[in-house]
Structure 1
Amino acid sequence: MDEEHPSHFEGRIALVTGAGSGIGAAVARRLAARGAEVFAADVDAAAVEAVAKELPKGHAMVLDVAEAARVDQAFDEVVRRHGRLDVLVHAAGVDDPEAKEWIAEALVADRPPQVTARLGDEAWRRVMRVNLDGTFHVLRAALRVMAPRRSGTVVTVGSSSAFDTQTGYPHYAASKAGAHALSQSVAKEAIAFGVRVNTVAPGPTETGMAARTPAALRQGFADPRVRPYATAEEIAEVALFLAGEGAVNLVGAVLLANGGRFTV
């Protein structure tokens, strides 16, 4: 157990999506270190199995959040085994590496990026399917199992892109802005049933997704006046705060964790 942080997750049953890497993996490890039994879910079977093996009480689940029926099955499996779900952290999400390349090429050439006119339907739908539809599937499944017990906490991982709406990244910005609004609307409904829903909105964070960001684009995010890229562990700490007892008065909050790049 993490001795610096006394556990109030002892005995809790938690499900973390996107747990195969990045923020999701960091959340799964921290929840487990503070006493939770963690169901780690990810579309990458090998990655999530490796993370689950690290956890004292960890279970791996292969899950594509874009598949509604599979999401329902995953939540049902947790309830079948334990009768309840106490904590959900929804960290699964995707970016668009090709669009990032187009933006980086424009930066290097010192010209405005042109992305929207080139953006195909499948690229748009892929991002929306995972980031927005997936958030709906997960929130719906969570309420189906948590509301009858009138207990539970949910944290969704959004993005500061919903606010700064980076030029040339319309589908990602839209998907995250939609996920924020979705989470806030659900939060207002869910609290009447004893379920708290909140969102952490990270800025640039050192994850596998960030590692795929072209160098020119990474440099564009650099600013000596603010903190460098966050670590996945730092964002995980915000998620655990929102999921924990110290945040009992937070409902429908979107906590912007971007190191001081801007505020809203």
Structure 2
Amino acid sequence: MNSVRTAADRFDGKVALVTGAGSGIGAAVAHKLAALGAKVVLADVNADAVERTAGGVANARALVMDVADADEVDRVIGGIGGLDVVVHAAGVDDPTAKQWIADAMLAGRPPEVTARLEIEAWRRVMAVNLDGTFHVLRAAVRAMTGGVIVVVGSSSAFDTPAGYPHYAASKAGVHALAQAVAKEAIAFGVRVNVVAPGPTETGMAARTPAALREAFTGAYATPAEIADIAVFLAGAESSNLVGAVLLANGGRFTV
């Protein structure tokens, strides 16, 4: 008998945590995992948003969690129990830096962001994107006796957009962190992989100035399209993938 499930119950009996589940890719992942039989725990820093998502997801419960708060992450993840799958989709961007880039584009000059970047903006992006990923990975490997962790990274780690150094650096760090943890955690039966989306129609995209969107010639992915890849990485079909970074940008560039 084929041990790989392909029916709608292939996550039946699994407990899955999705961070950043209040919107975008996290919400799409939550819907897909629940439809495939998982008992889904949704976490987000925005209480109203995660409650709205949970209201439309079967077998779901909502929790408030700020991934930048190490103690809170430890408490929430440590209290779930029987955790089989973690999809870490929480992250932030920097709308101010995006606007500076757009203004420079409209003025026909190169962006000047790094010299203007305040330490508070740097730390905010790093605290959520990179520190938050460490907090979630650490708590997850403490709590799990086996299973799968999927981290949402970004294609910005590869194409490093001019004027967006803090975001690119945070996501490059996320990829390296996840790959290093993957090599360690597989010895204990926990697989870790990364999906690295390109431009996707999320709340971050909604905050992207029109000039930047118009300059991008490719189609934006939908959250559901990226969620399909995350769910693939979370399932038995990807059992031989460990420490992989799957670039999901519709062919915008390859590495």
TM-score normalised according to structure 2 size: 0.97
Tell me the secondary structure at the aligned position of residue 93 of structure 1.
coil
Cα distance in 2, alignment partners of residues 5 and 21 from structure 1 = 26
C-alpha offsets along residues 130-159 of structure 1, whole Å, 9 cap, x if unaligned?
00000000000000011xx2x110000000
Q: Which deviations, in whole Å up to 9, do the C-alpha atoms of 1:197-225 show, x marking residues without a partner?
A: 000000000011101100001112224xx
RMSD after superposition? 0.9
**Equivalent position of 1:243 in the other structure:** 234
Unpaired stretches in structure 1, ≥5 consecutive residues:
none
Does residue 206 of structure 1 match 2:204?
no
Q: Which amino acid aligns with 1:20?
A: G
For 1:23, which of 25, 43, 47 is the aligned residue? Answer: 25
User: What is the match of residue 124 of structure 2?
Assistant: 126
What percent of counterpart residues are identical?
70
Per-residue deviation at 1:5? 5.3
Q: CA deviation at 1:7?
A: 2.8
The amino acid across from 1:40 in the alignment is L
Displacement of 1:34 after TM fit? 0.7
Q: Mapping of 1:55-70 within 5 angstroms? A: 55-70=57-72
**Superposition pairs for residues 1-264 of structure 1, below 5 Å?**
6-79=8-81, 84-146=82-144, 149=145, 151-223=146-218, 228-264=219-255
Structure 1 runs of 4+ off > 4 angstroms? none
- What is the Cα deviation at residue 242 of structure 1? 0.3
Q: Is the 8 A contact 2:8 2:37 kept in 1?
A: no
Distance 2:236 2:28 in 1: 19
Task: Give 1:6 shift.
Answer: 2.9
- Which stretches in structure 2 are left out of the alignment for 5+ residues? 1-5
* CA contact 2:84–2:147 (8 Å) conserved in 1: yes
Mapped partners of 1:116, 1:15: distance in 2 = 36
Equivalent residue letter for 2:42: A
For 2:3, the equivalent position in structure 1 comes to: none
Normalised by the length of structure 1, the TM-score is 0.93
State the AA in 2 paired with 1:9: F
Classify the secondary structure of the residue corresponding to 1:205: coil
May I ask how many residue pairs the two structures share in their alignment?
250
- 2:204 and 2:23 map into 1 onto residues whose CA distance is 9
SS at match of 1:230: coil
Matched residue type, 2:162:
T
Q: Distance between the aligned counterparts of 2:249 and 2:175, measured in 1?
A: 16
